[in-house]
A and B are shown apart, each in its own frame.
Chain A
Amino acid sequence: MAVPLDDFDVILGNDFLHMGSIALMPFLRGLFVMNKSHPCFVPAANTISGKESTKLSHLSALQVKDGLRKGEPTFLATLVETKACKAANVPDMVVEVLEGFNDVMPAELPKELPPQRNGPEGVGGAQKTVARAVGGGIHSAIQGPIWRTSLVRILPIRTSKIMALGRHGGGRLLEPLPLFLKHSSTTGLSEALRETHKGLAEDTPHVPCSNRAGGSQRLSQSSIAPQMKTHSTDRSSSSDGCLGVSFFFNASCRTCHNPKILFESVLNQLKFQEKMVPKESEGQDHKSMVYLIFDNLELVRDWEKHSVIISMLFKLYDILKLPEVGLIFISNASPDTYYTNTGSLEPLPIYFPDYTEDELYQIFSRNQENPKLYSSFLDITLKPFCRITRRVDELSIAFQSLFQKYCEPLSDSRIVPTGDMKRMLFKDLNRHLAPSLNETFSIPSHLSYQEEAKKDKVRWKANVKNSGHGEALDDINFHMSVSAKYLLISAFLASRNRATLDAALFDSTGGGDNRKRKRKISEASKEKKETAEEELLMKGPGTFPLERLLAIFQCITSVMEDSLDEGVQESGSDLGAEGGNSELMSDVLLQLSTLCNANFISKGGTCPLEASTRYRSTVSEELALKVARSMKFPLSQYLYQK
């Protein structure tokens, strides 16, 4: 049963009754307020019949919901005591609503409720102001000066590109063609868009891309376009009187995993906007723009049925046939990598190229506390680093630690460097430069900073004397248990050596030392060796079953035990290594899974004949040698082809 809400002067919720400790007394036609401070009785009157009714009219939550669904005007009223520094309790749900619309309510409430249905004064008027605020924030989105200047301020290097974007992108009164923005990673485009969205988010409640799996509404491809069309037309027909409002809808293909979610997110955003901004009446010349932005388009190519989706996206312009809708595709890959087999309009390409060295210089020297010092630092470092990579994110990580080292000899970081000091600093930094060029990331050591610095210095002196060239550190800088190390070595051996050689390398006594290899170097064997080398390079380390790994593990541990025993006996100490073998063997499977997780050993495919999992060691030879050295294990003796 639906009850028109006009019948009610006020609707009291259960929570209100709870809080006010109110009892309904239908036979007395009133409410009894059993509040401790003000107990009272409130008589109620039925206004419809004109005389006092026999009972109160009630409205259930279901009825309200029904009315809402049918779009009947519904108002939510709460009584809040307005005293400064006193917070009122409202239910959690209401808090969300209130927060979402906290700028909707005008400072002064209107004296009366708005007339029914038409008339955008009351609540509608408030929404209109919101709309105007939204419009003011982003109306100029692409064409307007506010956005552009702010964007240019954020990304000064990209001025020309932003201008081009603005010119091609349309804006109010201008009809856009689809744009295709091609960028390589970290070229500022994502920043540009993020800034636009920040602008959006400040002015209007944020619209998240909802990725509900089982939405109430199933979308097939056929229904998307008409829906988009209706929503977009709705959107563009409802424009603000004085401003050409632009709306941006962003759909990142990274967050959406299939077309359904992608389009749903676009539609949801459109619908949300529609709710936010009321439809305006006719008689306006200004069109407002709707921009649909498809981000990370290159990921679509990995989706199922990608060719259809991409051709549909490119064809949206023709399908919608709306001059008010601008389409922007953003992609990492160039447009010629998208093959569509349909007759769609080709979007206009705008290319955001990589930063050049000068641009990088400008970017890094911005927002620095001590620009002079930093620019002297950049003079030294930027050039060599630019030869490796021109990506801002990687460079900034490398520069961060290097700059710390650069500043180390200085007592005051605000100092302005002179020529002499620069030279001194340069000399200081130079020894750090070569190693940092050669590393992609560094693991922070557990040692305290100063200690490490000291160690560093000592080591560097030695190193500089020895080789003069950055060499990898001798010890591994992370902890590994003994058995894990053995396991790593045996996995490495199992991957490198052929299974047929195992018997020769590890005989029954486990001695690796007494083997003798005789090799005749002939042309044939040389060739063989070359092809084998080639194969190693191409195919990578071989795979091995678990049994072989365990066998090798047992062999090398027993060898090491023996040698350890000898060593112990020679030195005369009574540290027994009895039972060490079994200890090492005990948790080997656990260790193996740890190594797998650490990606030192990878699980390969199953062998079709044996139907057992095969493993593969993925550690480099250097690391294996390092580990062996830390164990004093003669690894090179066991490696074939060495």
Chain B
Amino acid sequence: MEQQQTLAVNAQIELRRRLCDRKSIFSIFSESPNSNHSKLKFIVSNSVTEGCNNSVLLLGPRGCGQKEVELRAKVLDLVIEDLKSEHHDLISVVKLDGILHSDDNCALKEIAKQLCLENQLLFSKMASSDDNSQFMIAVLREYGLAHKTVIFVLDEFDLFAQGKQRLLYSLLDAMQSVASQAVVIGASCRLDADQLLEKRVRSRFSHRKLLFLPPNKEDRKRQVFLHSLTWKLHCFTLDSKFPLLLLNIFKDTRFMEVLDALSDYDSSINNLLNFLFVAVCDMALDTGYLSLDNFKTAALSIQRPFKLEIIQGCSILELYILVCMKRLEDKEQNSYNFNSVMKEYKGIHVSYQIPDYYSQNVCLRAFEHLLQRELICFMDNRGHSLSIEFRPVKLLISSYELHQALKSNRFFPALLHKLIS
């Protein structure tokens, strides 16, 4: 029994490790010949072998929680690794991140630092940004002479396009004027990233764009899914039933329903992997099997209706205030504050004789709670000198959410529901 438990723990650890190691999961995408992966690889290897400059933009949309950019970055990593293994010393990579190096001086410094590291040179912290940019150009020239390629990876490319774009200009300009071999790869989740560029930068940029879209084929995702979970499953010594059982679950239509619901909400692979991660974490350790329930609860915890849960945590008085605000909105009163809510509340009390009728300061406290919960907020940032009860507010929840929340708890008074319908 104990042995089985340790086995289960080991299995869990192994699965978690595998799910966290996203690089290997994304490597599946390199297999298909028509993918972005191979296109990118072609571009980069072209400039390595032919000795020319190039620049590419990798764009991936980011809708509500879709993280395809992640995929993009991973593909990039994969490509670079592949190329490095092919051409050993001929490639050096400089990686910049828009979040960290959006400042031009800072970015130049980082470039100089990474180039120094690459070539075992001593990096001086004291160097000015002029020195650094000269150093960069010199290195590019040397690389050109030695037929080596530098790959500049600019993550969060749109952030580099803020301000004067000095870095982008000097980088692209150096590439044009110096006989060098360099590739600039920008990655961004803004689809209009190339439109942000200034004219002088844009004219130097070769307009190659690779678009990364979330995979829409259900079977392909399932392939990733099965791959990640069952991949080399035989290598650890758990009950041999384990992979078999999983396959059975995967074939189950109920499981597919859960999966479909999940991908309706967010069809990115990362979301899927997060879902799997939670499911594996919830694995029953005494048996060591993943059950369908694990997946169901994981799906629930991944796509939480946060607003609904917050409303469910409200007290009755807070709900009354929300309902009053909803009623005011239904009356098409375009702006209202605590006092008008109180008037409405009093009106309700007069007509229905509700048991939950409290004094103004108690209501004000409940009102403040609602503000803290971010179910309501002030209309504007002006009027800080005014006290809370006079500042106009607005609801941050839809009437559907309010209805749902009121319905979901049977302890909530039925009157509330009646008041807003």
**Are A and B physically bound partners?**
yes
Contacts of B281 in A (CB 8 A): 164, 167-168
Task: Specify the chain B residue showing the minimal Cβ separation from A538.
Answer: B337
Contact between B67 and A353 (Cβ–Cβ < 8 Å)?
Answer: no
Query: Chain B CB within 10 Å — which of A175, A335, A394, A602 has the most?
Result: A175
Quick one: which of B99, B343, B361 contacts A308, CB cutoff 8 A? B99
Contact between A346 and B271 (Cβ–Cβ < 8 Å)?
Answer: yes
A103-111, A199-207, A310-318 - interface stretch: A310-318
Within 8 A of A (CB), among B299-315: 301-302, 304, 306-307, 309-310, 312-315
Instruction: Given A222-B106, A222-B110, A341-B190, check contact A346 B270 (CB 8 Å).
Output: yes
Quick one: which of B20, B99, B369 contacts A342, CB cutoff 8 A? B99
Contact between B374 and A337 (Cβ–Cβ < 8 Å)?
Answer: yes
Contacts of B336 in A (CB 8 A): 538
B217-225, B227-235, B352-360 - interface stretch: B352-360
Q: Is B16 part of the binding interface, using a Cβ–Cβ cutoff of 8 Å?
A: yes
Task: Specify the chain A residue showing the minimal Cβ separation from B60.
Answer: A343
Contact between B274 and A177 (Cβ–Cβ < 8 Å)?
Answer: yes
Contact between A349 and B390 (Cβ–Cβ < 8 Å)?
Answer: no
Contact between A341 and B337 (Cβ–Cβ < 8 Å)?
Answer: no
A432-440, A450-458, A500-508, A563-571 - interface stretch: A432-440
Contact between A311 and B99 (Cβ–Cβ < 8 Å)?
Answer: yes
Q: Is B65 part of the binding interface, using a Cβ–Cβ cutoff of 8 Å?
A: yes
Contacts of A224 in B (CB 8 A): 100
Q: Is A182 part of the binding interface, using a Cβ–Cβ cutoff of 8 Å?
A: yes
Contact between B366 and A388 (Cβ–Cβ < 8 Å)?
Answer: yes
Contact between B362 and A603 (Cβ–Cβ < 8 Å)?
Answer: no
A311-341 toward B: CB 8 Å interface, digit per residue (1/0)?
Answer: 1100100110001000000001111110001
A539 to B98, CA, bound (A): 45
Q: Is B389 part of the binding interface, using a Cβ–Cβ cutoff of 8 Å?
A: yes
Contact between B278 and A168 (Cβ–Cβ < 8 Å)?
Answer: yes
Contact between A346 and B65 (Cβ–Cβ < 8 Å)?
Answer: yes
Contacts of A472 in B (CB 8 A): 359
Q: Is B194 part of the binding interface, using a Cβ–Cβ cutoff of 8 Å?
A: no
Contacts of B62 in A (CB 8 A): 341, 343
Quick one: which of B103, B312, B337, B362 contacts A220, CB cutoff 8 A? B103
A341 to B107, CA, bound (A): 20
Q: Is B385 part of the binding interface, using a Cβ–Cβ cutoff of 8 Å?
A: yes
Quick one: which of A222, A343, A353, A357 contacts B309, CB cutoff 8 A? A353
A308 to B97, CA, bound (A): 12
Contact between B387 and A389 (Cβ–Cβ < 8 Å)?
Answer: no
Q: Is B200 part of the binding interface, using a Cβ–Cβ cutoff of 8 Å?
A: no
Q: Is B392 part of the binding interface, using a Cβ–Cβ cutoff of 8 Å?
A: yes
Contacts of B109 in A (CB 8 A): 222
Contacts of A364 in B (CB 8 A): none
Contacts of A345 in B (CB 8 A): 67, 70, 270
A357 to B315, CA, bound (A): 10
Within 8 A of A (CB), among B362-387: 362, 364-366, 369, 372-374, 385-387
Within 8 A of A (CB), among B230-272: 270-271
Query: Chain A CB within 10 Å — which of B281, B302, B309 has the most?
Result: B281
Contact between A184 and B310 (Cβ–Cβ < 8 Å)?
Answer: yes
Q: Say whether chain A's binding surface is mostly helix, strand, loop, or mixed.
A: mixed
Q: Is A344 part of the binding interface, using a Cβ–Cβ cutoff of 8 Å?
A: yes
Task: Specify the chain B residue showing the minimal Cβ separation from A441.
Answer: B361
Contacts of B372 in A (CB 8 A): 184-185, 332
Q: Is A49 part of the binding interface, using a Cβ–Cβ cutoff of 8 Å?
A: no
Q: Is A173 part of the binding interface, using a Cβ–Cβ cutoff of 8 Å?
A: yes
Instruction: Given A177-B274, A348-B274, A605-B385, check contact A390 B315 (CB 8 Å).
Output: yes
Q: Is B78 part of the binding interface, using a Cβ–Cβ cutoff of 8 Å?
A: no
Q: Is B38 part of the binding interface, using a Cβ–Cβ cutoff of 8 Å?
A: no
Instruction: Given A335-B306, A353-B309, check contact A225 B100 (CB 8 Å).
Output: yes
Contact between B309 and A341 (Cβ–Cβ < 8 Å)?
Answer: no
Separation in Å of the A363 CB from the closest CB of chain B?
Answer: 15
Separation in Å of the A527 CB from the closest CB of chain B?
Answer: 16
Contact between B100 and A221 (Cβ–Cβ < 8 Å)?
Answer: yes
A425-447 toward B: CB 8 Å interface, digit per residue (1/0)?
Answer: 00000000000011110000000
Instruction: Given A319-B100, A341-B190, A389-B317, check contact A349 B304 (CB 8 Å).
Output: yes
B280-324 toward A: CB 8 Å interface, digit per residue (1/0)?
Answer: 011000000000000000000110101101101111111000000
Q: Is B339 part of the binding interface, using a Cβ–Cβ cutoff of 8 Å?
A: yes
A437 to B355, CA, bound (A): 12
Contact between B358 and A343 (Cβ–Cβ < 8 Å)?
Answer: no
Quick one: which of A175, A318, A394 contacts B20, CB cutoff 8 A? A175
Q: Say whether chain B's binding surface is mostly helix, strand, loop, or mixed.
A: helix
Interface size grouping (class) on chain A: 35 or more
Contact between A177 and B277 (Cβ–Cβ < 8 Å)?
Answer: yes
Contacts of B360 in A (CB 8 A): 620
Q: Is A618 part of the binding interface, using a Cβ–Cβ cutoff of 8 Å?
A: yes
Instruction: Given A175-B20, A387-B356, check contact A440 B306 (CB 8 Å).
Output: no
Task: Specify the chain B residue showing the minimal Cβ separation from A309.
Answer: B99
Quick one: which of A182, A318, A538 contacts B335, CB cutoff 8 A? A538
Task: Specify the chain A residue showing the minimal Cβ separation from B409.
Answer: A356
Contacts of B110 in A (CB 8 A): 222
Within 8 A of B (CB), among A22-74: none
Q: Is B28 part of the binding interface, using a Cβ–Cβ cutoff of 8 Å?
A: no
A390 to B277, CA, bound (A): 33
Task: Specify the chain A residue showing the minimal Cβ separation from B158.
Answer: A341
Q: Is B17 part of the binding interface, using a Cβ–Cβ cutoff of 8 Å?
A: yes
Quick one: which of A164, A225, A387, A438 contacts B316, CB cutoff 8 A? A387
A183-196 toward B: CB 8 Å interface, digit per residue (1/0)?
Answer: 01100000000000
Within 8 A of A (CB), among B15-34: 16-17, 20
A164 to B297, CA, bound (A): 12
Contact between B362 and A437 (Cβ–Cβ < 8 Å)?
Answer: yes
Contact between B315 and A387 (Cβ–Cβ < 8 Å)?
Answer: yes
Separation in Å of the A156 CB from the closest CB of chain B?
Answer: 19
Quick one: which of A167, A342, A394, A603 contacts B156, CB cutoff 8 A? A342
Q: Is A114 part of the binding interface, using a Cβ–Cβ cutoff of 8 Å?
A: no
Q: Is A391 part of the binding interface, using a Cβ–Cβ cutoff of 8 Å?
A: yes
Contact between A334 and B315 (Cβ–Cβ < 8 Å)?
Answer: no
Quick one: which of B20, B301, B314 contacts A177, CB cutoff 8 A? B20
Q: Name 12 A/B residue pairs within 8 A (Cβ), A-sorted.
A: A221-B106, A225-B100, A319-B99, A341-B189, A343-B69, A354-B313, A387-B356, A389-B366, A439-B359, A440-B364, A538-B390, A540-B339
Residues of A within 8 A of B (CB): 164, 167-168, 170, 173-175, 177, 182, 184-185, 220-222, 224-225, 308, 311-312, 315, 318-319, 323, 332-337, 341-346, 348-351, 353-354, 357, 386-391, 394, 437-440, 472, 534, 537-540, 602-605, 616, 618, 620
For the complex with contacts A225-B100, A350-B301, 8 further pairs of A-B residues with Cβ separation under 8 Å are: A222-B107, A341-B190, A343-B60, A343-B156, A344-B70, A346-B65, A348-B277, A602-B387
